[in-house]
Structure 1
Amino acid sequence: MNEHLISLDELWELRGQIPIVDARSENEFQQSHIPGSINLPILTNEERIRVGTLYKKEGSLKATIEGFKLVGPRFYRIQNTAVENFPEKKVLIYCWRGGMRSQILSWLLSMIGFQVYRLVGGYKAYRTFTFQLVRRDWNLLVLGGKTGVGKTRLLNVLTSYGEQILDLEAIANHRGSAFGGIGQKPQPSVEQFENLMAEELRQKDPNQVIWLENESQRIGKIIINDKFFECMESAPLIDIKKSEEERIGLIKEIYSTLPKEELIAAVTRLKKKLGGLRTTQAIEDIINDQHESWISNMLIYYDKSYQFDLDKHNPKTIQTLDLTGLDIEKSCQLLINIKNLLNGKQINPAH
């Protein structure tokens, strides 16, 4: 059998060189998986439940025999699919715990000349790693500021200055407001979000500052784990100021081209907080392409919400920075100056 058992450390070295194949069922894969992997299920959703129930009631032997009975007629289809999708005949395989399903798939592919690398401990080993990594103490520096000050743009440009950033909204496929899901891909599950977040953090230097945007604990349907959110709340926060005109202009640039029906739906979701009159006016403005008007209307609510959240922070951890009228390069230079000043002190009490 042309198979090599590999550890999680070896996975990091091999990924990107050969395809990663998830042998679990469709539902398991959809819920969460190793990013970049391809699903080639040995057992379907229904078959997995059937075998699992048999295992609990009658033990491993009968469950294994039943598993082979179910998957046996599909052996040739699985092999054909693998040949079509992986012509170089090298794959890295995992299932839930590195057990029966990945062993069967490894055997099937080895029989037709594949070089197989099978992950010891399976997805469970990977998930244990990502779960722990996103709950470590991290050296964070938070970009705050009212809606429209350009926090995400600043984060992205900071990378060109060699700064470490973590864009939680990009990972969550959501901008973090009632309007945040418009034009975005479907959000991952909370578990997959943590996997993606860990993939980013794994590449960071834990001894250096990581910039991220101020967020509530919920980003769309995603909930940031308590430990990391506590780390965010205890980190220094730079409260960015921009003129209302600049803020409205940036928001208009992002949202004015989006489908009107989705913008109206977002406004409607805020009706209880906006009140009937303001909601009606905002909807009329969207219909009539009066973007500055409906955006200004929304900012009344979002500015109050931001101030409420800001008041929860320890004022000793907040630095105010007015970037009104400044271009993004100058703004980033000022941010880095503040980081360097803070870095001469204790950035995060956890360190």
Structure 2
Amino acid sequence: MRENTEDFRRIFLQSTPMMDLRAPIEFNKGAFPGVVNLPLMTDDERQQVGTCYKHSGQEAAIALGHKLVNGSTKEQRVEAWAGFAAANPEGYLYCFRGGLRSQLVQQWLAEAGITYPRIIGGYKAMRRFLIDSLEHSVQTLPLNIVAGLTGTGKTEVIKAVKSSLDLEGHAHHRGSSFGRHATPQPNQIDFENALAIEALHVTEQGAGQLVLEDEGRMVGSCTVPLELFRLMQQAPLIWLEDTFENRVTRILGDYVVDMHGEFAALHPDDPQQAFDQFAEHLTGGLLRIRKRLGGEKQQALLGIMESALAEQKRTGSVDAHRDWIAGLLTDYYDPMYAYQRSGKDERVVFSGDQSSVVEYLRDRTLVSVS
């Protein structure tokens, strides 16, 4: 397949199956969602060929590559590529630049009686396309930012509006000191690729806006792309409101019930280890804000949290967690958000509860598309 942005757009919009022939070390630095890594060479083989290329040139490096990937090793890899091609006849193969590695695999498949297309330009060209398309989307579509106090359900609004980009979802982080999940975050490139693909889907639907949650530059360890973040700081704010009690209940569900469930899923045969890691997760979140919260308040909330954890472990009840959550909102999050809002009031164009905010944003999408 020639290097063509419309082809790339179709591939990502249709979630076209692709096999990535790069070495695992390359793949793990950044890849596209759902792509299968079936490398031509292992990391060690790639390093040997690279060293040979540097010292002896391309011809010698190619010869070494053929020597390393030969016999039963070659047969096993061709069998894996053939299996992917048979299972995904509409798919493609690619390497980093769409050059020697993908040509060679294509040739070996042809010798096995299988014609399978490759992407000229490879990973590098598709990655460039995604970077450019995301920047184009955020520069051409108006942004609307959902803001509000902690626990008002901003993420629920994002999931309810089709023209949204889910920064926290792609970063696998809730964007706060307690926002980590039981499993790791993606690397930066994977985060950007997934975000750009979501933006492609939103623009393909004809949306007249992009809706995002109010975030800092960092969502955990993932960095919001600079141009997107810059425009987010200038965009209109839609302020989400909810009662204090509802907010406490929502945070209890997210940070206590759901998080314990995540650790339990990681350790289904060892509930003690799951609970210990969950407890460490909660106390670690409180420790990370010790300086901003103040040592005395942090110690008081830690005592309440540890008592709640002990009761949960003993009885299974999570109700006691409401006390430290309420204290954290009152002493930390609400004053911080009040201070931040004081500099943003002129940007607030709408305020309301969850149903009215969702309706407002959906109406804007309908108006923009019509």
The reply to whether TM is greater than 0.5 is yes
Distance in 1, matches of 2:23 and 2:190, equals 16
**Alpha-carbon offset, residue 89 of structure 1:** 6.7
Distance 2:87 2:147 in 1: 48
Pair 1:250 & 2:250 matched: yes
Alpha-carbon distance between aligned partners in 2 of 1:128 and 1:42, rounded to the nearest angstrom:
23
CA contact (8 A) 1:19 1:86 kept: no
Quote the Cα distance in structure 2 between the aligned partners of 1:100 and 1:141: 45
How many Å separate the matches in 2 of 1:35 and 1:322? 35
1:166, 1:200 within 8 Å by CA — same for their partners in 2?
A: yes
CA shift, 1:27, in A, is: 1.1
Alpha-carbon contact 2:238-2:357 (below 8 Å) kept: no
Deviations 1:154-213 (A, max 9, x none): 222233xxxx11111001111101111134x42111111111111011122376111111
1:333 to 350, 359, 368: 359
Q: Aligned AA for 2:294?
A: G
Q: 1:47, CA displacement in angstroms?
A: 2.3
Structure 1 unmatched ranges of 5 or more:
344-351
Partner of residue 292, structure 2: 273
Residues 208 and 365 in structure 2, CA contact (< 8 A), matched pair in contact too: no
Cα distance change, pair 26–214 in 1 and its aligned pair in 2 (3 A): same
Q: Does 1:147 align with 2:150?
A: yes
After superposition, the Cα gap between the structure-2 partners of 1:88 and 1:291, relative to the gap in structure 1 and judged at 3 Å, is closer
CA distance in 2 between partners of 1:342 and 1:84 (Å): 48
| In 1, Cα distance between equivalents of 2:171 and 2:133 | 17
| Aligned twin of 1:263 | 282
- Identity rate, percent: 30
Equivalence for 1:9: 6
1:76 partnered with 2:75: yes
Deviations 1:287-308 (A, max 9, x none): 3322121112222222233334
Assess if the C-alpha contact under 8 Å between 1:142 and 1:213 holds in 2.
Answer: yes
CA pair 235-265 structure 1, distance change in 2 beyond 3 A = same
CA distance in 2, matches of 1:108, 1:8: 28
Tell me, in whole angstroms, the C-alpha distance in 2 between the residues paired with 1:268 and 1:234.
Answer: 33
Query: What is the SS of the residue equivalent to 1:321?
Result: strand
Contact 1:139 1:207 survives alignment (8 Å): no
Distance 1:335 1:10 in 2: 32
Q: Distance in 1 between matches of 2:55 and 2:16?
A: 39
Q: Secondary structure at the match of 2:202?
A: coil
Structure 2 equivalent of residue 36 of structure 1: 34
CA 1:17 to 1:169, structure 2 compared with 1: closer, same or farther past 3 Å?
Answer: closer
Match of 1:144, SS state, is strand
Answering whether residue 349 of structure 2 is matched by residue 319 of structure 1, we say: yes
What are the Cα deviations for residues 47-94 of structure 1, in whole angstroms up to 9, with x where unaligned? Answer: 222322332333222222222222224211102223445544734100
Deviation of 1:107 after TM superposition, in Å, equals: 1.6
Q: How does 1:88-103 map to 2 (within 5 A)?
A: 88=87, 90=89, 91-103=91-103
Q: 1:115 to 1:17 in 2, by over 3 A?
A: farther
CA contact (8 A) 1:21 1:39 kept: yes
Cross-structure match for 1:303: 334
Distance 1:231 1:334 in 2: 21
Amino acid at match of 1:140: L
Matched-pair contact (CA < 8 Å) for 2:97–2:122: yes
Q: CA deviation at 1:240?
A: 2.0
What TM-score, normalized by structure 1, do the two folds share? 0.85
CA 263–342 in structure 1, closer or farther in 2 if over 3 Å, else same: farther
- Which residue is 2:179 aligned to? 180
Q: Comparing both structures, which one devotes a greater share of its residues to helix? A: 2
User: Is the Cα–Cα contact under 8 Å of residues 158 and 332 in structure 1 kept in the other structure?
Assistant: yes
Residues 82 and 237 of structure 1, relative CA distance in 2, 3 Å threshold: same
Structure 1 pair 47–225 and aligned structure 2 pair: CA distance change class (3 A): same
Which residue pairs with 1:347 in the alignment? none
Aligned-partner SS, 2:31: coil
Confirm or deny that 1:197 pairs with 2:195.
yes
8 A Cα contact 2:146 2:240, kept in partner: yes
Is the CA contact 1:54–1:63 (under 8 Å) kept in the aligned structure 2? yes
Indicate the structure with greater strand content: 1
TM-superposed CA distance for 1:119, in Å, is: 0.1
Match for 2:106: what amino acid?
S
Write the letter of the residue equivalent to 2:6: D
Structure 1 counterpart of 2:60, which letter?
A: K
d(CA) in 2 for partners of 1:311, 1:123: 45
SS of residue matched to 1:69: helix
Q: Could you state the TM-score of these two structures normalised by the residue count of structure 2?
A: 0.81
